[in-house]
Amino acid sequence: MSTETKSKHRRRRGRPKGRAVNQAALSQVRDLLGNAPRRADLLIEHLHRIQDNQGHITADHLVALAQELNLSPTEVYEVASFYHHFDLVKEGETAPPPLTVRICDSISCSLAGAEALINNLQTTLGDGVSVQRVPCVGFCQEAPVAVVGKNQIAAATAEKVQQLVDSNSIQPEMPAYRDYTAYRADGGYDLLGRINTQGSDDLQRMPVEQVIQLLEDANLRGLGGAGFPAGRKWRILREQPGPRLMAVNIDEGEPGTFKDRHLLEQDPHRFIEGMLIAARVVDIAGIYIYLRDEYAAIRTLLRKELTRLQADPPYPLPPIHLRRGAGAYICGEESAMIESIEGKRGMPRQRPPYVAQVGLFGRPTLEHNMETLYWIRELLEKGADWFAGQGCHGRQGLRTFSVSGRVNKPGVHLAPAGITLRELIDEYCDGMPKGHELYGYFPGGACGGILPASLADIPLDFDTLQPHGCFIGSAAIIVLSQHDSAREAALNAMRFFVHESCGQCTPCRVGTEKAVALMEQNQWDKTLMEELSNVMIDASICRLGQAVPNPMLSVLRYFPEELDHPRFRS
């Protein structure tokens, strides 16, 4: 090699690698971050700041943010590109229009005419508006749902959307809820003060062992879908070395589920007190609340009420952090949620170890769904016998059912655990619309399977549906009538899973795509579908890949008349 060649080679190696930091973008990012800490676990929060301000995120923003957080641009890009709610604009691409209208096309909204609404809006809205089809946004009882900016439109029509676009009303309205002052006036947080962690003989206080035993006697189970006994979970966590952390899951992205939003819109402090009781009993050093990004009004509400609580605390509080999801259904899985809270891609962890042992930031972590904590105050006030005695058909407790689809009164209905679908429709949902008869139903959201009308008298609860190839999950009920197709509903669900698979494991990433291709055929190949399902169930890392074949298998099992009937062909 000549001296001249060596010199050029040395100069080339000495140049900075990758994209140079754009000073204008760096200044902009610094202004947006302000005095916020420059920690890696806040990466997603900082990406939201850029997205909210600019309406998109450029490559220059990513590189500038990477420098601010002392991360590589690759790390920042991997996270930003993983989540659906970050609009990344590559060099040379045109930035999206300033306003985006999102139309939910998941099962409940599809039944209510979402496809026609999407087609209409794509041709009628102006050039300054982007129209996107999106998966479930958590307002299934008001289908079809459109979101203009962050403002949800119930029972959306093209006219309603156009009016909101013209008025530029892009921020959500705040619900009428019981605030901190009203909650305290009604005895709120008094129970928290009675939790005895000191082992004293004060009869007015409740020893932590008594609290845990009460939860075990009541048989309160996790209401996010898994159903793990709450009292046992608290006992396990107390045995782990400190400091212990807590992660609260309010990322209800399962199509058909909206109970957590409903409860928070009414009485957020009932949940917060339950959360703080759990934190005191388990001796939690810090709490992280993970809220789905679609719930913009709830995020504003919680920030306001947590600030009021922290400014005037009735008792010493642990640090409470409100973290914002970014449009990834997989983050409803507990370990994926923990990865997201840490500022990473929301990919499920291999287990063991379990999050109770090695969870958030490597510490033992108490993970709970919001609704589980919502029940704590009432259960401790009224006792285990009260809660356990609420069920029917041999079951125990109460459940909040999210009901959507072909019923006269969709919404969240508080009913005894073990109620049947037929009873739920007749007694709580005012029956089905005129001209509609029960044909089938999802008992547990999109991945809970589909049951026919002939099985509408099974008690709806944990462990009662598994013999039929289904599960109740978070109690999201989607009702189908004779005018609907179980096959098309299952295909809608599988397309959702293709969109939401994190891509970490091949059985789920490839399996969902193969399943859609098979389900789109005029005639279904039952043998091949069952073989594919078995691979996904046996080999997927997390519950997503293991559960997504359920709707497809349910159609094969319970709706064979649809497999080759001309009415249901694509």
| 438-476 tens-digit pLDDT | 999 999 999 999 999 999 999 999 999 999 999 999 999
Residue 563: what pLDDT?
Answer: 87
Please check the confidence at residue 7 and state whether its pLDDT lies above 70. Answer: no
Residue 77 amino acid letter: Y
Residue 420 predicted with pLDDT over 60: yes
Output the six-digit token pair for 274: 């339950």
Task: Kindly tell me if the per-residue pLDDT of 127 is higher than 90.
Answer: no
Please name the residues in contact with 279: beta carbons below 8 A apart, sequence gap of 6 or more.
246, 287, 318, 366
73-94 in b/e form (b: 16+ CB < 10 A) is: bebbbebbebbbbbbbbeeeee
User: Is 60 exceeded by the pLDDT of residue 8?
Assistant: no
How much is the average pLDDT of 140-156? 95
Using CA atoms, how far apart are residues 304 and 256, in angstroms rounded to an integer? 28
Residue 138, sorted as left (phi over 0), alpha (psi -120 to 50) or beta, turns out to be left
- To which H or E segment does residue 546 belong? helix 543-547
Question: Residue 354, by phi and psi: left (phi above 0), alpha (psi -120 to 50) or beta?
Answer: beta
Predicted confidence band of residue 17 (pLDDT cuts 50, 70, 90)? low
- Please state the rounded mean pLDDT for residues 301-316: 97
pLDDT tops 60 at residue 15:
no
Q: Mean pLDDT over residues 232-257, rounded?
A: 96
Strands 398-405, 438-442: pairing kind: unpaired
430 with 446: CB under 8 angstroms?
no
So what's the pLDDT on residue 570? 39
Instruction: Examine the pLDDT at 177 and tell me if it is beyond 60.
Output: yes
What pLDDT does residue 568 have? 47
- In one-letter notation, the amino acid at residue 347 is M
438-442 and 244-250 as β-strands: parallel, antiparallel, unpaired?
unpaired
State residue 196's pLDDT score: 73
Identify the residue whose tokens are 């407790």. Answer: 397
How far apart are the C-alpha atoms of 223 and 414, rounded to whole Å?
Answer: 13
How many other C-beta atoms lie within 10 A of the C-beta of residue 157?
A: 15
Q: Is the pLDDT of residue 108 over 50?
A: yes
Q: What percent of the chain has pLDDT over 90?
A: 87
Residue 525 has pLDDT above 70, yes or no: yes
- What residues are paired with 369 via a beta bridge? 249
